[in-house]
């Protein structure tokens, strides 16, 4: 005779062990599902905060003097990364004047710190998209090298840098 391993053939001890196993498995699954639900809530909250920050980026460029300083710093940071003798700055069309007013000061500061000149031109044929919050893209070697330093890219970079801290807060060391 062939016997199947069904409940009729289990001893009481085997039945208790099996019952205990399934209860533990169910508890584990429920705890896991609770954690997943909490993570989804946390991820949603993070997305809401980042979306709100993205919306506020557009308002931050309205303070012209402060925004001009931000543009200057973004351009300088990008030039220091490349250390090229000729670079091109791409900005939003409405930011062209702010960028051009800063170029002399940027070139002077760069030469003082690095010890060599840098020719900086503004791209007036191609602009950052109108829905871009602001910032710049800097290219060198006829566009072969590009640094994206838009306000959105900075926010993305900051959010990526915060991930380890968020992970540690959620899961411990």
How far apart CA 4 and CA 83 sit, in angstroms, is 76
Single out the residue of 74, 89, 76, 93 nearest to residue 150, CA to CA: 74
Residue 173: is its pLDDT beyond 80? no
Q: How many structural domains compose the chain?
A: 1
pLDDT at 29: 83
pLDDT at 9: 64
Higher pLDDT: 43 or 85? It is: 85
Give 172's pLDDT tier (boundaries 50, 70, 90).
Answer: low
Higher pLDDT: 54 or 135? It is: 135
pLDDT at 21: 78
CATH, residue 129 = 3.30.2320.30
Structural domain that includes position 125: 1-172
153 burial type by CB count under 10 A (0-12 exposed, 13-18 middle, 19+ buried): middle
Whether pTM > 0.75 for this model: the answer is: no
pLDDT digits (tens, 9 = 90+) for 32-80: 888 888 888 888 888 888 888 888 888 888 889 999 999 999 999 999 9
Higher pLDDT: 169 or 122? It is: 122
How far apart CA 173 and CA 167 sit, in angstroms, is 9
pLDDT at 1: 45
């Amino acid at each position: 005779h062939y016997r199947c391993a069904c409940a009729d053939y289990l001893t009481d001890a085997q039945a208790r062990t099996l019952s205990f196993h399934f209860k533990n498995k169910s508890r584990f699954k429920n705890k896991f599902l609770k954690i997943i639900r909490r993570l989804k809530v946390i991820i949603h909250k993070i997305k809401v905060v980042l979306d709100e920050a993205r919306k506020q980026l557009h308002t931050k460029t309205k303070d012209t003097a402060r925004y001009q300083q931000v543009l200057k710093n973004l351009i300088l940071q990008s030039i220091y990364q490349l250390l090229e003798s000729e670079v091109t700055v791409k900005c939003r069309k409405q930011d062209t004047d702010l960028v051009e007013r800063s170029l002399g000061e940027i070139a002077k500061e760069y030469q003082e710190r690095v010890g060599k000149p840098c020719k900086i031109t503004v791209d007036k044929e191609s602009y950052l998209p109108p829905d871009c919050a602001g910032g710049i893209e800097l290219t060198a070697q006829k566009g072969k090298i590009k640094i994206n330093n838009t306000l959105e890219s900075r926010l993305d970079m900051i959010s990526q840098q915060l991930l380890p801290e968020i992970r540690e807060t959620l899961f411990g060391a």
